Structure 1
Amino acid sequence: MATATTKLQLSQIAPHVVQSEIRSMSVECDRLGGVNLAQGICDTEVPSPVVDRAISAIHEGHNIYTRLDGVAVLRQAIAKKLARDNGIEADPEGEVLVTSGATGGLYATALALLNPGDEVVLFEPFYGYHLNTLLALRMKPVAVPLATHTWELDLDRLRASITPKTRAIIVNTPSNPCGKVFSRKELEAIAELAIEHDLFVFTDEIYEYFVFDGTEHISPASLPGMKERTITISGLSKTFSITGWRVGYLAADRKWTGAIGYFHDLTYVCSPSAFQYGAAAGLLELPRTYYESMSGEYQAKRDLLCSALTDIGMTPSVPTGAYYVLADASRLPGANAKERARFLLRETSVAAVAGTAFFTEGGGENLLRFCFAKREHDLQRACDLLRSLK
């Protein structure tokens, strides 16, 4: 007897989902044995206090589920760091939540605070996971383009993007992929609109310590009137080069953290226990000079990569934060950005990401994104390989 299979189908959204271009390029780069400047892997050395404490935590038996909001020592360390570096007062008992990376924090936040069909503003170029998280949860992302190359905020376009269905604005500062650090003036303008229209502001501040040329990172929640409506999302993945550990966090008013914590528990249960202890050791033991030297080190790496790109006619938009560079790829052969990225990989063994991964349809075709969060000898090798195109 024939069995009916009409109900055995993908979800409505699944056919429209494709593998991240970042991951596609990483796979192809691995196949060719190239230098991966496509993915923000951050394969630099992990600080020894972080490693040592994680190992000792394993031996001490911290290998089981934690409380859904994370271990106390890490929540306390996060609260102390937020007060010291971000101007945010957050009670570790009720206003701090340890998450499975910043990605997990955003996912749980969207589940807890938004409904299908709600509109959420984000700035273009955007991080693909922000946009696709909203799409996966049946929300409507509304992209507001930043000025090309300067990445300045057009306040009139932002204001025009807000409708009665708008519920939140996502702010990524410093930004992936363009390295923009939103200025105080820009953030104050965003805050004014959020208050006027009674909107949430979700921030992604994972690159907060990667700022260059004396640029200041400002947390939107520190601005007047913004703490109640802002969900501050960050993590230790980039700061301590532990992207695979999945230790993120968020801070929010306690009226929101209960629901966010519920959905994070439902989806991820908890961030890995022993790794939470390692991350706490980093926050508590590393001196201020660690962050300052890291910023200087990455500024030098930025300049090294931008110099190589300039030499081969791929003019970069020099970032003031994060560890990515968007560069003009129009001189490379190919009908679109994906073809140009693959040409570059074939010819130089250096992987970059098509700019279209960070723009709405039709945008980014002449751009490639490069990541400079690499060990110095690997980045130098990549620059030497790029210069072979001259």
Structure 2
Amino acid sequence: MPNPTFVAPSSMANSSRLYLSELAPGAVQSEIRAMSAACESMGGINLAQGVCDTPVPQVVEAEALAAIQRGDNIYTRMDGIARLRAAIAAKQRGDYGLDYDPETEVMVASGATAGLHAAAMALLNPGDEVILFEPFYGYHVATLKSQRVTPVPVALAEADFGLDVDALRAAITPRTRAILLNTPANPSGKVFTREETEAVAEVCLEFDLFLFTDEIYEYFVYDGQEHVAPATLPGMRERTIVISGFSKTFSITGWRLGYVTADARWMGAMAYFHDLTYVCAPSPFQHGAAAGLELLPASFYQQIAADHQSKRERMVSALRDAGLTPTVPAGAYYVLAEASVLPGLSAAEKARALLKATGVAAVAGSAFFSKGRGENLLRFCFAKQDAALDEACARLRRLGGG
């Protein structure tokens, strides 16, 4: 029953309270999702989304199935099962010499994206600024904006994606709270060198900033490159929020399994916000990932890098033959290619023209840049099974008459 004493303010008398939030009008479907849907509708080959449809390691798959069958299907602790937290801590120690307490400094997340979301909720306030490097992963920008945090892009050099330290310093303001570093990077395949990573760390220390890292492509490095874990640098462990996951390494993008390792001072709040949004990551899948960390040998990780370097070579060669000049990535599993030969006034139009002509889906480069940039670039994902990748390459070559 209406409250008889309530009187609507004059400003509300002739208006509805039913309206979208301040954030919603600017929220649109990501170009990655849009191109995946367009590709699916025509039965094309999807090189747009980083789905990584290569086979799941047998030990990972078998343990997940066994967990379902033995009844490990209920809620876990909000920061994940003890077995997986211990395995993640052991992995960080073995790979990088980083010691994290699995009880207080490791959180299993519903994907790396959820890990970033929880970390931002715990550590940032509306109006804070976070510096990231352009080209950037659109979900990083969108996650920050969804929490009313301002992303501040700093452009990498166009020729080789080199870090401009002066530009980084110039971007810092009194509202800057953190830097977000994605290495190896999506979409460029940029692997930050040790010198560049040390420069970023120096800025974090000088201005007392958090460093959020997205290291999910840590094992996808080529040509003898090295992945430098920023938390290993002097003074950086306490301020670095390490975000990674299993989607790419174990080819389980649909399982939504990631993790965060960070100093215990920050982890409690992060786990709280992850619980609030996701409750926990899927229980049986956590057991599958734990088995992978426990049982897969070092040669497995070396092999996936070698396999994807081979896929990279095939993709780069096909793009060159098609007249789409690629930038050869040092890591991750994407290629940015120059696409001015394609019809269309924008990258989105060029991507759709390519899909129509070849049945191969790519993503508009503009999805990874500030407004007005990236309009002559397309991003291609080469983490595909060989038959699909080879067919996509053959279709692309026909653009160039091959």
Q: Is the pair's TM-score, using the shorter chain for normalization, greater than 0.5? A: yes
Q: Which residue of 2 aligns with 1:13?
A: 23
Q: How far is the alpha carbon of 1:241 from its aligned partner?
A: 0.3
Distance 1:31 1:86 in 2: 44
State the 4+ residue runs in structure 1 displaced beyond 3 angstroms: none
Q: What's the secondary structure of 1:153's corresponding residue? A: coil
Q: What's the secondary structure of 2:39's corresponding residue? A: helix
Q: Percent identity?
A: 63
Q: Which residue of 2 aligns with 1:27?
A: 37
Find out whether 1:67 has 2:77 as its counterpart.
Answer: yes
Equivalent runs, 1:128-207 vs 2, <5 Å: 128-207=138-217
Find out whether 1:254 has 2:264 as its counterpart.
Answer: yes
> Which of residues 46, 51, 74 is equivalent to 1:41?
51
TM-score normalised by structure 2 residue count: 0.96
Q: Which residue of 2 aligns with 1:94?
A: 104
Q: How far is the alpha carbon of 1:211 from its aligned partner?
A: 0.4
Equivalent runs, 1:73-84 vs 2, <5 Å: 73-84=83-94
| Cα deviations by residue, 1:105-137 (Å, 9 ceiling, x for unpaired) | 000000000000000000000000000001110
Distance 2:254 2:43 in 1: 21
Q: Which residue of 2 aligns with 1:312?
A: 322
Q: Which residue of 2 aligns with 1:389?
A: 399
Point out the more displaced range, 162-171 or 4-13.
Answer: 4-13
RMSD over aligned Cα, in angstroms? Answer: 0.9
Distance 1:98 1:312 in 2: 42
Distance 2:370 2:362 in 1: 19
Equivalent runs, 1:225-240 vs 2, <5 Å: 225-240=235-250
Q: How far is the alpha carbon of 1:216 from its aligned partner?
A: 0.4
Q: Give ranges in structure 2 of 5+ residues lacking alignment.
A: 1-12
Find out whether 1:223 has 2:233 as its counterpart.
Answer: yes
Aligned residues: 388
Find out whether 1:358 has 2:378 as its counterpart.
Answer: no
Find out whether 1:268 has 2:274 as its counterpart.
Answer: no
Q: How far is the alpha carbon of 1:4 from its aligned partner?
A: 6.9
Considering only CA atoms, is the larger Rg found in Structure 1 or Structure 2? Answer: 2
Letter in 1 for 2:386: E
| Cα deviations by residue, 1:182-214 (Å, 9 ceiling, x for unpaired) | 111001111011001000000000000000001
Distance 2:329 2:295 in 1: 30
Distance 1:58 1:230 in 2: 35
Distance 1:80 1:31 in 2: 43
> Which of residues 355, 366, 373 is equivalent to 1:345?
355
| Cα deviations by residue, 1:1-41 (Å, 9 ceiling, x for unpaired) | xx976110010110111100000000000111110000000
Letter in 1 for 2:225: T
Q: What's the secondary structure of 1:228's corresponding residue? A: helix
Q: What's the secondary structure of 1:206's corresponding residue? A: coil
| Cα deviations by residue, 1:289-326 (Å, 9 ceiling, x for unpaired) | 00001100000000000000011111100000000000
Distance 1:218 1:181 in 2: 9
